Amino acid sequence: MVLVPCVLGVLALVAALVLGRSPGVTIGVALLGGAYGGSLFLGPRGLDVWAPLEATALVLAAELAHWSLELRPWVAAEPGVLARRAATVAATAAGTLAVSAAVLAAASAPVRGGVGWEAVGVTAAASALAVVVRLARRPV
C-alpha cells in the first residue's frame, strides 16, 4: 500500500530533474513524505527513532533537487556563491535534524496531559505549519 506512493514519488522526482520542472520536485518529495507518514500508521506502534533522519533526507532531497534545477543552464557563479549555498544547505539539514530530534525527544517524554500541554501542542503544530508555509513561499 505504501509502495505505490513511493514509486510515484521517485518517478515524479526523476521526471522533474530530467525535464527541468520544479513543481515535479515538490510533488515527488510530498509523495515520498506521505508514503513515510503512511508507513507509520501501518507499522508497529510507537515512535520511530529514525524519523529525524527521514525528515533530514526529505529536506536534503528537495534542496539539492531545486539547486540542480537552478543551475540550468550553467552560468559561472560569482566567487564564493556556491560555497555559501552549500553551507546554507548543510545548515538547513543540520537544523532539520536538530529540530526533529528535539520534537522526537519531547514526544517520547512521559506526560499525563492536561490543558497546558494541549496548548503547547497546538502552539507547536501551528509553529511547524508556519515554518512550512514560510519555506514554501520563499523565492527560489
pLDDT tens digit sequence for 77-93:
788 888 898 999 999 99
pLDDT at site 125: 85
pLDDT at site 108: 79
pLDDT at site 54: 92
pLDDT at site 123: 87
Q: For the chain, which residues score pLDDT lower than 70?
A: 111, 138-140
Q: From 38, 40, 81, 33, select the one nearest 60 (Cα to Cα).
A: 33
Residue 38 in contact with residue 6, Cβ under 8 Å?
A: no
pLDDT at site 139: 65
Q: What is the model's pTM? A: 0.73
pLDDT at site 122: 85
Residue 62 in contact with residue 29, Cβ under 8 Å?
A: yes
